[in-house]
Amino acid sequence: MGSKVTVENIIGMKGKRKIVVITAYDYTTARICDKAGVDIILVGDSAAMVMLGYKDTVPISMDEMLVLCKAVSRAREHAMIVADMPFMSYQVSVEDALYNACRFIKEGNADAVKVEGGREFKHVVEAMVNAGIPVMGHIGLKPQTAPLWQGYRVQGKSKENACRLVEDAIALEEAGAFSIVLEQVTYEVAKTISDTLRIPTIGIGSGLACDGQVLVLHDILGLYEYSPKFVKRYADLSTTMLDALTRYRDDVLNARFPGEEHTYHMDVQEYERFKEMVGMMRERLKRERNGMDDKEGLADE
Ligand code: KIV
């Protein structure tokens, strides 16, 4: 697949070819994503739900995200790795934001971080970029704060909201972000932003006009029960896994597994000698047990 994808490569793809982004959170699936030739693996905070079973992305911590990021980066040969800054890892202060972003780069081996928010986080993005950390922005539906306010709603339906999204996108570009995720933004607004910016937009539920697309791995593989309208399922792995596990359970219960082909054997002569030795061991054990029984008998008398 060649060398690692860089920030420069990603920016250079705009207007030439679409950018392929997928989430992954562990070594095994990240290896497959990398082999498939995706450009960016996003260690998304959607891990909160699909990996850790939280009800939304709010509770996941830096330490939890770092474990996942390290696993993904061990698998990567080609793709760029972007780590999602979890809720409250960059909101408290710029110092906090720099410290946590730095942990993803130094400990997690990520190449860049992603930050949810528009104009209100321009100074944070600027500080990270000035410190040498590439940043991917994220506007439109913001899953970290949506459940706390209005819920999960498509963004960019009214002209006022549409204008705010364009202004947010421009602010992030000015701050030095190298790309921006547009989540559940109307096609018209996503197209306007994509046509206005020099950096690429990565859409999720925002239509075909974006410069790239991102989806959650568990959604495209059919591993997670709920998936929104914008998801295309490329496989039904939960049915495949359920079938495999049910057959495994039945094989174990009915002694059909392990078969001869899964079993290791001793050399025949070694086994003969082993049986003689076991015979002697058993004889000795019998004598010792009988001796103990005799002593116990005397003690009882
Ligand atoms: O956490 C995540 O997976 C994301 C994508 C949905 C863009 O932020």
pLDDT tens per residue across all 301 residues of the chain: 569 999 999 999 999 999 999 999 999 999 999 999 999 999 999 999 999 999 999 999 999 999 999 999 999 999 999 999 999 999 999 999 999 999 999 999 999 999 999 999 999 999 999 999 999 999 999 999 998 888 899 999 999 999 999 999 999 999 999 999 999 999 999 999 999 999 999 999 999 999 999 999 999 999 987 789 999 999 999 999 999 999 999 999 999 999 999 999 999 999 999 999 999 999 999 999 998 877 777 666 5
Query: Is 296 annotated as catalytic?
Result: no
46 lines ligand 1 (CB under 6 A): yes
Domain boundary among the residues 181, 214, 233 is at 233
The helix-helix angle for 27-35 and 62-75 (nearest 10°) equals 50
| 256, part of any domain | no
| 199, part of any domain | yes
Phi, psi of 79 (to 5 degrees): -65, 155
Q: How far is the CA of 152 from the centre of ligand 1 (A)?
A: 13
Does residue 159 sit in the same domain as residue 67? yes
Residue 269 sits in which domain range?
A: 265-300
Chain-centre distance of CA 254, in angstroms?
37
Does residue 127 sit in the same domain as residue 276? no
Report yes or no: 244 and 52 within 8 Å, Cβ to Cβ. no
47 lines ligand 1 (CB under 6 A): no
24 lines ligand 1 (CB under 6 A): no
Tokens representing 107 are: 């400990």
**What CATH number did the domain enclosing 156 receive?**
3.20.20.60
117 lines ligand 1 (CB under 6 A): no
Q: How many domains does the chain have?
A: 2
Query: Which among 5, 178, 28 is positioned nearest to 77, based on CA atoms?
Result: 5
- For residue 116, which atom of ligand 1 is closest to its CA? 8
| 244, part of any domain | no
Does residue 183 sit in the same domain as residue 281? no
Does residue 228 sit in the same domain as residue 291? no
Q: How far is the CA of 41 from the centre of ligand 1 (A)?
A: 11
Tokens representing 203 are: 């859409």
23 lines ligand 1 (CB under 6 A): yes
Does residue 172 sit in the same domain as residue 277? no
- For residue 143, which atom of ligand 1 is closest to its CA? 8
Does residue 95 sit in the same domain as residue 208? yes
| 215, part of any domain | yes
Catalytic residue among 183, 188, 260, 261: 183
Please return the burial class of 224, using the count of CB atoms within 10 Å of its CB with bins 0-12, 13-18 and 19+: middle
| 161, part of any domain | yes
Does residue 211 sit in the same domain as residue 272? no
pTM of the model: 0.93
| 158, part of any domain | yes
Does residue 156 sit in the same domain as residue 286? no
Does residue 44 sit in the same domain as residue 127? yes
Domain boundary among the residues 183, 212, 233 is at 233
- For residue 45, which atom of ligand 1 is closest to its CA? 1
Does residue 151 sit in the same domain as residue 65? yes
